[in-house]
């Protein structure tokens, strides 16, 4: 079982990830707290692995870890061979270095109690963000606080993107990068069997709509569409109603033309796509141009999968495909009372993959952490499913095959 120190580290890291956006809001001496916490977590894993009493991790975790390390090392070598700048290589490696946290998550999340703790943190952090965002929006639009005050306060950080009507220059709202987790929390509030209060889900969905973010809204809708195919038929109607309401909110909360108008970002994406298609030839399809390669004049682009293909080729996509495959297979093996909970974690991972089509979530700490945690949780559920069996003198008993415990009530 995880030690109290591991649990404390897990809670601290999750709070920072779920509430801290890209991590630039909390810094110590110019270093992000997220980086410091991650370094402590990895150091703790090293201590655990060197200990004679360390618990055995699932073989899938080790396979994913070594596959990622091998492919990333190859991408670095290809980048050096092609003369990519070392500063660009180092800059691109920074977000990828969160992947080894899968070893920490596998140590810190070992049983159903740990899974429930993670679930509560995801939901509570999402609800807190939603209430804060709606409170700020209400204060600005009611005139209690001027827009200029909010703008001047928040513009100091790159974590915030402001929304304006391009024709009338009217303030519509803002997007906080940590709001990515609003959609994850919404999935839990809508579909997790423990969270019955759907009013909280409505509040979170309202906050998502007011951020006017096409990519996250579309990814959430696709995740709910996936839920229709993965959940029992009796729940289809409820999910379809939510889908209809979510799609309708796009038109109720903002003018459709304003909501969909992103001419500058759309033109940039089209230009990036043209650059990749014009430069990507069969000789580099397998290995790419290496980590640190420029795409046109840009070191990073929003279309994450095309970026990985351009820089690391088909081989570079293997770790992310393998991660999703392990996640899906673990979900498929979960049965019984844990099935619905497992579905929500799998949908959270799918949401990250959908959102990554237009933004670099999967290869950064925000989205990567959700997928890594989801995969670890599903493997835990697969190994620790509660088995109901008859007990002595009519008592009902449950057993945990991993922990080796058996309790009769």
61-120 pLDDT per residue, tens: 999 999 999 999 999 999 999 999 999 999 999 999 999 999 999 999 999 899 999 999
d(Cα 118, Cα 124) in Å, to the nearest integer?
10
- Which residue is listed with tokens 């703008």? 151
Of residues 65, 101, 72, the one with CA closest to residue 89 = 72
What is the predicted pLDDT for the residue at 244? 58
What is the predicted pLDDT for the residue at 247? 54
pTM score of the predicted model? 0.86
Q: Which residue has the higher pLDDT, 32 or 253?
A: 32
Residue 214 has pLDDT above 80, yes or no: no
- Which residue is listed with tokens 């950080």? 157
142-158 pLDDT per residue, tens: 878 877 777 777 777 77
Q: How far is CA 138 from CA 135, 207, 292, 403, in A?
A: 5, 11, 43, 49
Q: How far is CA 234 from CA 227, 231, 317, 337, in A?
A: 12, 8, 36, 16
- Which residue is listed with tokens 């229709």? 228
Contact between 87 and 32 under an 8 Å Cβ cutoff? The reply is no
332-389 pLDDT per residue, tens: 999 888 898 999 999 999 999 999 988 889 998 999 999 999 999 999 998 876 444 4
d(Cα 199, Cα 239) in Å, to the nearest integer?
15
Helix (H), strand (E) at residue 408: strand 405-408
Contact between 348 and 191 under an 8 Å Cβ cutoff? The reply is no
């Amino acid at each position: 079982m995880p030690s109290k120190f591991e649990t404390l580290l897990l809670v601290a890291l999750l709070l920072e990830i779920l509430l801290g956006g890209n991590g630039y809001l909390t810094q110590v001496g110019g270093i992000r707290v997220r980086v410091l916490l991650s370094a402590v977590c990895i150091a703790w894993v090293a201590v655990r692995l060197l200990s004679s009493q360390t618990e055995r991790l699932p073989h899938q975790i080790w396979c994913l870890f070594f596959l990622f390390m091998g492919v990333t090392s190859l991408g670095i070598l290809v980048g050096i061979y092609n003369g990519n700048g070392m500063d660009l290589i180092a800059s691109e490696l920074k977000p990828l270095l969160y992947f080894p946290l899968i070893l920490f998550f596998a140590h810190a999340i070992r049983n159903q109690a740990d899974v429930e703790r993670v679930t509560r943190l995801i939901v509570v952090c999402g609800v807190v963000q939603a209430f804060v965002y709606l409170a700020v929006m209400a204060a600005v639009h009611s005139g209690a606080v001027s827009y200029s005050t909010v703008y001047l306060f928040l513009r100091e950080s790159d974590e915030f993107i402001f929304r304006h009507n391009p024709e009338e220059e009217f303030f519509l709202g803002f997007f906080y990068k940590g709001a990515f987790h609003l959609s994850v929390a919404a999935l839990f509030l809508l579909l997790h069997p423990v969270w019955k209060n759907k009013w909280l889900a409505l509040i979170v969905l309202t906050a998502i709509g007011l951020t006017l973010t096409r990519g996250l809204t579309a990814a959430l809708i696709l995740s709910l569409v996936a839920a229709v195919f993965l959940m029992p038929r009796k729940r289809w109607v409820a999910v379809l109603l939510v889908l209809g309401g979510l799609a309708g909110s796009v038109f109720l909360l903002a003018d459709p033309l304003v909501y969909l108008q992103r001419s500058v970002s759309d033109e940039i994406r089209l230009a990036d796509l043209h650059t990749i298609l014009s430069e990507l030839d069969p000789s580099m399809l397998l290995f790419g141009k290496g980590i640190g390669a420029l795409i046109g004049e840009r070191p990073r682009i929003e279309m994450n999968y095309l970026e990985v293909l351009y820089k690391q080729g088909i081989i570079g996509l293997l770790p992310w495909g393998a991660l999703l495959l392990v996640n899906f297979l673990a979900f498929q093996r979960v049965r019984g009372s844990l099935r619905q909970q497992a579905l929500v974690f799998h949908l959270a991972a799918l949401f990250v993959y959908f959102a990554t089509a237009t933004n670099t979530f999967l290869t950064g700490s925000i989205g990567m952490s959700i997928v890594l945690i989801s995969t670890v949780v599903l493997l835990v559920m697969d190994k620790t499913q509660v088995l109901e069996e008859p007990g002595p003198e009519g008592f009902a008993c449950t057993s945990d095959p991993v922990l080796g415990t058996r309790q009769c009530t």
